[in-house]
């Protein structure tokens, strides 16, 4: 926490206690009933349905083409960094990905601005970008000294052709110029960093749920910088770069007046993720994450150590929900084009080996967390687990098991560290656009 943020938090806390003492008298006299003790379906302590709860955003990404793998989008030079740049600076984002089993060819990339909830704001391109909104991705190299055939692409922006005039939420789309087919999509942020805010995570218990949930809260001093109408302000919160699962608050609280705060309702807070994992494929040998390796196969086959839902993850490595390749693989000179692709067999043991009522799909940083039916695991009745092979590049990847339908119960014994990012927005009534004012991140279980 920087000195400015610490100062603001101290002022907020001091003001909070004054108001709190007065409020307790009123609450004691009138009584108070929470409006967030149950979900829409009446079940206490469970997250609401993203399709019906207004806290959730409207971002749906196209599944990557079957020939696309290892999508990375980060702020140069840190592969594990949030895909965020500040407008008007020399910061740059780097996009890297592989085209599997084919010769490289130029691809097209396009950019689109969205509002804070990832809904089309119908701005004209000239309103948010300088120059064009499309460019060619022509920087690619064939794989070298590897059993795997792939072309590695690198694209850095902003550049001479692509520049951003407005802050906010952006989505890039890479497509095949020949057919127009979408190859993949990836969200990123352009911030102004023009306002101070304090940000904290509260650990809150949820009735009927195991573990403590993380409730993010931001505090701001609106002042006269933009406007005094607090309903033009709002905050959204993202966990491990999962922009598709972001949750927003547009209702300000003046409990800490003259400061304003935005927080999620308890039921919309972030539940513990015992099924969030890190797999280290930087070295293809038996170890903590790898149970067995078959080097004689092409691609190399890797059997991963089974993940147990009742024990949760035990990883301590923090990836911000991102994949790392060049910073992780050390047994080759140039991992971008020399690292191997392997068939990694995931094995997932649900709580008490109870079969789920729906599909179990592996989603992760390697495909930008898109839910892809091609990564569905198959139930192995004899062993009481789910299993399936996914083509992965050497490196370190974050991943999670998505279960459709009711999940088998889990003890939720352990949840590894995650990144919680707060995004502060201001709807500018003059230009009718959501401006991304400031971004802060915290690391917590």
**In the prediction, which pLDDT does 406 show?**
63
- The rounded distance, in Å, linking the Cα atoms of 154 and 140 is 6
Peptide bond into 258 cis (omega under 30): yes
**Nearest residue to 432 (alpha-carbon basis) of 205, 52, 121, 174:** 121
Do 72 and 185 lie in a common domain?
A: yes
pLDDT tens for the chain, 445 residues: list them.
554 555 555 444 444 433 333 333 333 333 333 333 333 332 223 334 444 567 899 899 988 999 999 999 999 999 999 999 999 999 999 999 999 987 899 999 999 999 999 999 999 999 999 988 999 999 999 999 888 899 999 999 999 999 999 999 999 999 999 999 999 999 999 999 998 889 999 999 888 776 789 999 999 987 756 666 788 999 999 999 999 999 999 999 988 777 889 999 998 999 887 678 889 999 999 988 999 999 999 899 999 999 987 665 555 556 788 999 999 999 899 999 999 999 999 999 987 788 888 899 999 999 888 888 999 999 999 999 999 999 999 999 999 898 876 665 554 555 677 899 999 999 999 889 999 999 999 988 7
Do 397 and 282 lie in a common domain?
A: yes
**In the prediction, which pLDDT does 310 show?**
61
**In the prediction, which pLDDT does 174 show?**
98
Residue 29 lies in a domain: no
Tokens read off for 208: 């009927």
CATH number for the domain including 96?
A: 2.60.40
- The rounded distance, in Å, linking the Cα atoms of 99 and 69 is 7
- What distances in angstroms separate CA 372 from CA 63, 180, 336, 356, one per listed residue? 6, 21, 24, 18
Structural domain harbouring 298 = 276-403
Residue 204 lies in a domain: no
> Is the distance from CB of 118 to CB of 312 less than 8 angstroms?
no
Residue 124 lies in a domain: yes
Q: For the chain, how many structural domains are there in total?
A: 2
Tokens read off for 30: 């009138």
> Is the distance from CB of 338 to CB of 146 less than 8 angstroms?
yes
Give the DSSP H/E element, type plus range, for residue 227.
none
> Is the distance from CB of 156 to CB of 399 less than 8 angstroms?
no
**In the prediction, which pLDDT does 420 show?**
94
Q: How buried is 125 (Cβ within 10 angstroms: 0-12 exposed, 13-18 middle, 19+ buried)?
A: middle
Do 380 and 283 lie in a common domain?
A: yes
Residue 25 lies in a domain: no
């Amino acid at each position: 926490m920087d000195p400015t943020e610490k100062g603001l938090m101290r002022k907020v806390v001091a003001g909070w206690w004054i108001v709190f003492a007065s409020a307790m008298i009123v609450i004691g006299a009138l009584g108070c009933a929470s409006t967030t003790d149950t979900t829409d379906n009446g079940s206490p302590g469970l997250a609401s349905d993203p399709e019906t709860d207004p806290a959730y955003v409207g971002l749906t990404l196209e599944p990557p083409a079957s020939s696309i793998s290892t999508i990375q989008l980060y702020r140069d030079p840190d592969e594990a960094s949030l895909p965020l740049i500040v407008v008007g600076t020399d910061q740059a984002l780097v996009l890297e990905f592989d085209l599997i089993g084919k010769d490289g060819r130029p691809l097209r990339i396009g950019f689109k601005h969205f509002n804070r909830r990832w809904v089309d704001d119908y701005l004209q391109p000239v309103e948010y970008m300088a120059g064009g909104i499309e460019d060619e991705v022509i920087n690619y190299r064939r794989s070298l000294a590897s059993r795997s055939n792939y072309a590695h692409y690198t694209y850095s922006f902003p550049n001479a052709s692509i520049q951003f005039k407005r802050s906010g939420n952006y989505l890039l789309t890479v497509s095949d110029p020949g057919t127009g087919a979408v190859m993949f999509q990836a969200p990123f942020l352009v911030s102004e960093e023009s306002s101070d805010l304090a940000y904290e995570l509260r650990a809150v218990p949820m009735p009927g749920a195991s573990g403590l949930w993380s409730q993010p809260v931001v505090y701001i001093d609106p002042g006269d910088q933009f406007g005094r109408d607090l309903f033009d302000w709002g905050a959204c919160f993202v966990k491990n770069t999962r922009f598709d699962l972001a949750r927003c608050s547009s209702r300000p609280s003046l409990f800490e007046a003259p400061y304003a705060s935005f927080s999620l309702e308890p039921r919309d807070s972030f539940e513990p993720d015992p099924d969030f994992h890190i797999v280290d494929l930087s070295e293809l040998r038996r170890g903590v994450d790898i149970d067995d390796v078959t080097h004689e196969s092409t691609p190399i086959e890797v059997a991963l150590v089974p993940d147990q839902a009742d024990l949760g993850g035990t990883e301590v490595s923090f990836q911000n929900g991102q994949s790392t390749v060049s910073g992780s693989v050390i047994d080759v000179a140039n991992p971008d084009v020399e690292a191997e692709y392997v068939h990694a067999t995931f094995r997932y043991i649900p709580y008490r080996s109870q079969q789920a009522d729906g599909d179990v799909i592996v989603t992760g940083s390697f495909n930008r967390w898109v839910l892809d039916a091609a990564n569905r695991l198959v139930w192995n009745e004899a062993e009481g687990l789910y299993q399936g092979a996914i083509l992965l590049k050497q490196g370190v990847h974050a991943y999670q098991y998505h279960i459709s339908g009711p999940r088998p119960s889990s003890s939720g014994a352990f949840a590894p560290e995650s990144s919680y990012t707060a995004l502060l927005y201001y709807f500018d009534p003059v230009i009718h656009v959501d401006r991304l004012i400031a971004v802060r991140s915290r690391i917590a279980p």
